[in-house]
Amino acid sequence: MADDMDTYPDKQMDRAQVVIRPPLLWFSLICVGYGLDWLIPAGFMPSNLPNIWVGGGVFALGLVLALWSFRQFREFRTDVDTHSPTSDLVDTGPFGFSRNPIYCGMFLGIVGIAIGLNTLWIIAGLVIWYPVMRYGVIGREGAYLERLFGADYIAYKSCTRRWI
């Protein structure tokens, strides 16, 4: 039986070619940070601050932003998975003010969890998360979208910030 990649050799290139699935990186960073905090505690929140509530609020903002972004993908009938082909350029809703609102939501989620758990290790993990996301995911997605949508993506990119 022929492999799908053998039958459709361009199918492998019809996606962003990211180095890692963003949710996997997100979850790994939190687990490693929490594990390091268990071994070597590194709190950073003032003891009189209700860190669970503050962290929960920041996390909730990130979750709302990510869910709103997922809804926009659904409205445009395109897949949010970085390993799937993109069928449409989403430029409304949260994508009207940020080219990467899902990743902004992920960032807020990481910060919220770090605050809620009071662990500096998760914040320190952003030193790895940011360059991997910026160059290994976002940069590759941008290049893919520019190849796929050409002038439409260039126009969108020129008037919409990468972050917020």
**pLDDT by position in tens, the chain (length 164):** 444 444 334 444 577 788 899 999 999 999 999 999 999 999 999 988 899 999 999 999 999 999 999 999 999 888 888 778 888 999 999 999 999 999 999 999 999 999 999 999 999 999 999 999 999 999 999 999 999 999 999 999 999 999 87
What tokens appear for 132 in the block?
Answer: 């991997």
Domain residue spans of the chain: 48-164
Quote the tokens at residue 85.
């082909």
Q: How far apart are CA 73 and CA 91, in angstroms?
A: 10
